[in-house]
Structure 1
C-alpha cells in the first residue's frame, strides 16, 4: 500500500474521490456513538433535586435502545451519508490542493507548518459544506428526547421545513461554530503524516495496520481540541429559533453562567471512543481508494 498523503505530488481530483469514499466508511463506523454524543451534549439541565436525563454514555445507550431500539442510534444518518461524500471529498481535495501549492516537484517533502496550513484550509472549506447536513442531523438526533411533538420526518422533510421557516440562514445555523470546530484539522493531518512517515522509516512502506493506528490517533488528538466547539455547535443547532441571539457567543455565555466550564466537555467519552475507529475508517478508505485509482 502506498500512501495517498505523502511524498508523491498531491492530486486533488483523486483525493476528491478518495475522500468521499473514506467519509462514507467513517459515518457507517461511528454514527451510533455520534448520536449518543449529541444527546449528552444537548440534554436539558435538570431541575433542582432531579437526576439528569442521562447519567452517562451507558445510561444514554440503554435508554435509547429501550425506547427506540437499534433504529434510535441511526436517527438522522441519511443526512451525513448524503452529505459526507462532498464534505470529505472537499476536505481531502482542498488538503491535496494546499499541499500542491508547496510542492515544486514530485518528491518534495512538506514541513509540518506546511502540512498544518494545508489542513486548516481543508478544515475551513469542509466546515462550510458540513453545516446544513450537520444541522439536520442534530435536529433528528435530539427531537425524540424532548417532551414536545415530533416535528421532523427524515432528512428531506427537515431540510424543507428549515428552509420554509428561515431560508438558507436556518439551514446554515451554526456556521461559525462549525468553522471553529473544524479548524484543528491542521493538527489532524500533521499527526497522521508524521506517524505514517515513522511507519515507513521502520518498515520501508506503510501498511493497513499503520494507517489504522495513525488515522485513529490523529482523530483522538483532533477531537481533544475540537470538543468544546462541538458542544457549542450542537447546543446552537438544536435550540429553537431566537434562543441565542448572538450565535455561538451567546451559547458560550449562557453555558458558562449556568453549567460552568465542565459542560464544554460534555459527551467527550463517546466522542473519544468513536474518534479512533471512525477516523481510522476515513484514512483506511482514502488509502484504499487511492490504491484502486492508481491500479
Structure 2
C-alpha cells in the first residue's frame, strides 16, 4: 500500500467514525423529541390503562368509567396526573431507545460485513429493536415506578401520599434505597424487549409497504409516517399488555407483596383469572396509534431538520 493509499484509508476511517457519531447523536436527539410528543398525546390513555390494571375488582366498570370518575373527582387535570415523571424521563427514555436501535443496526452490520444488501430483514429489525430495549430499561424502570405510584394514588379513596415526582423518589429511597426506586426493572424489560422488537418491525415494514416502487422510504410524506408510526404502536401493545399489567402491579404494590415477576403472575391469575393479564388493553390500544404516530412524526421531522443543518 502506498503512502497516499494509507492516508486515504485513515481519512476514510475518520470520516466513517464521524458519520457514525453524528448518526448516534441525531438518533438520540430525535428520539427524545418524539418521546415528548408521545407523552403529550398519550398520557390520559396511559393513566386510564394503569388505573384499570391496578384497581381492586369492581372499582371500575371499564375504561370509560375510569375517565368519568377521574374527571368527576379531579377535573381534566386529573387525566394528566403522573405526567411529570414520563415528561421528565421521556427524553432520555425515547432518546436511549432510538439511540439503541441505531446501535443495534450497527451491531448487526458489524457481524455481517459481507452482506449483499443494506436493507435489513424482518428478523434483523426485530433484533435491533430488542437491543434498543436493554439500555432503555434502566432509564424507563424508575420513571415508570414514579409514574405508576402517582397515577394510582387517590383511587378508591386512598390517601394522597406523594406531592410530586421528587417526593416519590425521595420517599422510595427512604423506604428501600435504590432497589426500591428500580423495582420492576425485570418486568419492564420483559415488556419492552419483545415490545420494542415488534415496534420497530411494525414501523419499518409499514414504511416499506407504503413506499412506491423505485422510491426511497426516506421520502415518505407525513401521512405515511403517521400511519407507520401508529401501526408500530399497535404492534407493540398487541403483545406488551400482559407484562405491562404485571409491571404496574409490582411497581404499585406495597413492599413484600410479590417476590418477583413470576410470583406476581401466579398470584394475579390465582386471584383474578387469566383475563386480568389483559386489563387495560382497550386504553392501551386506543393510545397506541395516536401516541406513536406523534412519536415517529416528531422523530422524523426533527431528524430531517437536523440533516438539513448538520
Considering the TM-score relative to the shorter chain, is it more than 0.5?
Answer: yes
Compute the displacement of 1:195 (Å).
Answer: 1.1
Compute the displacement of 1:100 (Å).
Answer: 1.9
Which structure has the highest helix share of the two?
Answer: 2
- The residue number in structure 2 matching 1:95 is 101
- The residue number in structure 2 matching 1:243 is 257
**Pair 1:206-2:220 in alignment:** yes
Per-residue CA deviations over 1:156-186 (Å, capped at 9, x if unaligned) read 1111110111100000000110000001211
* Structure possessing the higher radius of gyration over alpha carbons: 2
Matches within 5 A, 1:274-293: 274-293=287-306
Moved over 4 A (4+): none
Q: Do the aligned partners of 1:232 and 1:264 also contact (CA within 8 Å) in 2?
A: yes
- The residue number in structure 2 matching 1:48 is none
- The residue number in structure 2 matching 1:194 is 205
Q: Do the aligned partners of 1:159 and 1:171 also contact (CA within 8 Å) in 2?
A: yes
RMSD (CA atoms): 1.7
SS at match of 2:157: coil
**Pair 1:135-2:145 in alignment:** yes
Q: Which has the higher contact order (CA 8 A, sep 6+)?
A: 1
**Pair 1:228-2:234 in alignment:** no
Compute the displacement of 1:265 (Å).
Answer: 0.4
Per-residue CA deviations over 1:115-172 (Å, capped at 9, x if unaligned) read 1111101022212210111000000000110433221000011111101111000000
Provide the TM-score with structure 2 as the length reference: 0.87
SS at match of 1:183: helix
Number of matched pairs: 280
SS at match of 1:35: helix
**93-102 or 273-282: which moved more?**
93-102
Q: Do the aligned partners of 1:102 and 1:110 also contact (CA within 8 Å) in 2?
A: no
Say if 1:203 and 1:138 are closer, same or farther in 2 by CA, change over 3 A: farther
Q: Do the aligned partners of 2:128 and 2:197 also contact (CA within 8 Å) in 1?
A: yes
Q: Do the aligned partners of 1:22 and 1:284 also contact (CA within 8 Å) in 2?
A: yes
**Pair 1:61-2:67 in alignment:** yes
SS at match of 1:76: coil
Q: Aligned partners of 2:61, 2:255: CA distance in 1, in Å?
A: 28
5+ long unaligned stretches in structure 2: 1-18
- The residue number in structure 2 matching 1:49 is none
Q: Do the aligned partners of 1:11 and 1:97 also contact (CA within 8 Å) in 2?
A: no
Provide the TM-score with structure 1 as the length reference: 0.91
Q: Aligned partners of 1:24, 1:273: CA distance in 2, in Å?
A: 18
**141-150 or 151-160: which moved more?**
141-150
- The residue number in structure 1 matching 2:277 is 264
